[in-house]
Structure 1
Amino acid sequence: MLNKFREAKQLEIESLRKDFVEGRIPAVYSGNRPSFVDAIKAKGPGAIIAEFKPASPSKGILRENINPMDFAEDYANNGAAAISVLTEHKYFSGTPDFLFMMSNPGIPLLRKDFIFDPLQVAMTASSPASAVLLIARMCDDVDHLKQLIDIARMPGLAPVVEVFDQADLDMAREAGADIIQVNNRNLDTLEISLDQGRHFIKQKQDDELWICASGVSERAQVEEMASLGFDAILIGTSLMEAENPGEKLAELTGAK
């Protein structure tokens, strides 16, 4: 699955490299970049990272004719600590433009995409994003992941490293990651089980911030993951499919 996502990014990376060679290097964003970590800690444990994704590979189009700015306001007004913004186009119908369109409420944005080239991180730094997702197993080795983490931190981006198994977690830590996102999806079967999060959270260290991703759709599940030690829960599909995403988010945060 990750290989097809990698292939889908090749044209984008080739374009970024061409721009770089020709001297068109994007300037680092000069506006406000609110702290992703501080926002999570202020509302955690169990802070909600509300995701905006128009489509997914497993379910196709989740919502049509949607306005990302409306979602940003709804999420901010109903207790989200941060917003995860899908910017991948082919499979998720995203665009990096969403990062600018959703920055007005002033809560941190996590750029979620398939990022494995330093120039993709540089492009993220030219946007209002506060954090960037790095998937451990999309990197060739520890040095590759460490390079991306270090590049992200230079302009103030928080590198969120996603793991699927023990090898990923070991690699993330060796590369210096301190924000760990556990994905509850099995990449081989595409099945989702919260047992993944329940298992891995036992290894959380004091100086780390942990995020639980995939499979959470009810307040009771948020409370359980928070009680186990997850600082934040990333929730996407159940919000995108809800009749009223703002009300659903209020329910998940416990505000309703």
Structure 2
Amino acid sequence: MLDKFREAKQLEIESLRKDFAEGRIPAAYQGERPSFVDAIRAKGPGAIIAEFKPASPSKGVLGENLNPLDWAETYAKNGAAAISVLTEHKYFKGTPDFLFMMNGPGVPLLRKDFIFDPLQVAMTASSPASAMLLIARMCDDAAHLRQLIEIARMPGLAPVVEIFDQADLDMAREAGADIIQVNNRDLDTLQVTLDQARKFITQKKEGELWICASGVNERAEVEEMASLGYDAVLIGTSLMRAENPGEKLAELTGAK
């Protein structure tokens, strides 16, 4: 699965390298970049990171002609601590433009994409994103991941490192990650189980921020993850498919 995603990013990376070689280096975003970590801590444990994704490989198209501005306002008004924004085009129908379109309400934005080249980090730094996703196993080794983490931190981006297994967690720790996102999806079968989150949270260390991703759909599950020690829960599909996303988010946060 990740090999497909890596292949899908090659044209983008080649284009970035060409721009860089010709001196077209994107300038770092000069506007306010609200703190992702502070926003999570303020509403955690169990803060909700509400995700905007028009499609997914496992569920197909989740909505047609969606207005990112409306979704950002809905998420902000109904208690999202942060917004996860899919920017990958081929499989998720996203675009980096979403980061600019969803910046208005002032909620920290997490750029979610398949990022494994330093120039992709530089491109993210030129956007209003407050955080970016780095998938541990898309990196060659811990040194590669550490490089991406350190480049992200320079302009104030929070690097969120996603893990699927123990080897991923070990690599994340070796690379200096302090924000760990546990993905509950099996990449081979696409099956999801919260047992993954339940297992890994026992290894959380003081000072780290942990996020549970995939498979949480109800308030009771949010409460369980919070009680186990998760600072935040990332929720996408159930919000995108909800008849009233604002009401569903309010329910997940416990406001309703």
Regarding TM over 0.5, the answer is yes
After superposition, the C-alpha distances for 1:10-62 in whole angstroms (9 at most, x for unaligned) are 00000000000000000000001000000000000000000000000011100
Q: Which runs of 4+ in 1 moved over 4 A?
A: none
1:187 counterpart residue number: 187
State how far apart, in whole Å, the 1-side matches of 2:188 and 2:83 are: 27
Aligned ranges for residues 57-206 of structure 1 at < 5 Å?
A: 57-206=57-206
Residue 242 of structure 1 aligns to a residue whose secondary structure is: coil
1:3 counterpart residue number: 3
After superposition, the C-alpha distances for 1:184-238 in whole angstroms (9 at most, x for unaligned) are 0011111100000000000000110000000000000000000000000000000
After superposition, the C-alpha distances for 1:117-157 in whole angstroms (9 at most, x for unaligned) are 00000000000000000000000001000000000000000
State how far apart, in whole Å, the 2-side matches of 1:57 and 1:38 are: 31
State how far apart, in whole Å, the 2-side matches of 1:168 and 1:41 are: 24
Q: Which amino acid aligns with 1:29?
A: Y
State how far apart, in whole Å, the 2-side matches of 1:128 and 1:146 are: 22
- Say whether residues 1:242 and 2:256 are aligned partners: no
State how far apart, in whole Å, the 1-side matches of 2:18 and 2:66 are: 33
**What is the aligned-residue RMSD (CA, Å)?**
0.3
2:44 counterpart residue number: 44
Q: Which amino acid aligns with 2:255?
A: A
State how far apart, in whole Å, the 1-side matches of 2:6 and 2:87 are: 14
After superposition, the C-alpha distances for 1:150-187 in whole angstroms (9 at most, x for unaligned) are 00000000000000000000000000000000000011
State how far apart, in whole Å, the 1-side matches of 2:247 and 2:220 are: 16
1:213 counterpart residue number: 213
Of all paired residues, the percent bearing the same amino acid is 85
State how far apart, in whole Å, the 2-side matches of 1:37 and 1:8 are: 30
State how far apart, in whole Å, the 2-side matches of 1:36 and 1:215 are: 22
Q: Which amino acid aligns with 1:69?
A: L
Residue 64 of structure 2 aligns to a residue whose secondary structure is: coil
After superposition, the C-alpha distances for 1:88-138 in whole angstroms (9 at most, x for unaligned) are 000000000000000000010000000000000000000000000000000
2:231 counterpart residue number: 231
State how far apart, in whole Å, the 1-side matches of 2:47 and 2:62 are: 24
State how far apart, in whole Å, the 2-side matches of 1:25 and 1:247 are: 42
State how far apart, in whole Å, the 2-side matches of 1:188 and 1:169 are: 19
2:35 counterpart residue number: 35
- Name the count of aligned residue pairs: 256
Q: Which amino acid aligns with 2:165?
A: D
State how far apart, in whole Å, the 2-side matches of 1:172 and 1:201 are: 14
Residue 30 of structure 1 aligns to a residue whose secondary structure is: coil
State how far apart, in whole Å, the 1-side matches of 2:166 and 2:14 are: 32
Q: Which amino acid aligns with 2:137?
A: R
List runs of 5+ in structure 2 lacking aligned partners.
none
* CA shift for structure 1 position 78: 0.1
* CA shift for structure 1 position 65: 1.1
List runs of 5+ in structure 1 lacking aligned partners.
none
Residue 210 of structure 1 aligns to a residue whose secondary structure is: strand
Q: Which amino acid aligns with 2:238?
A: S
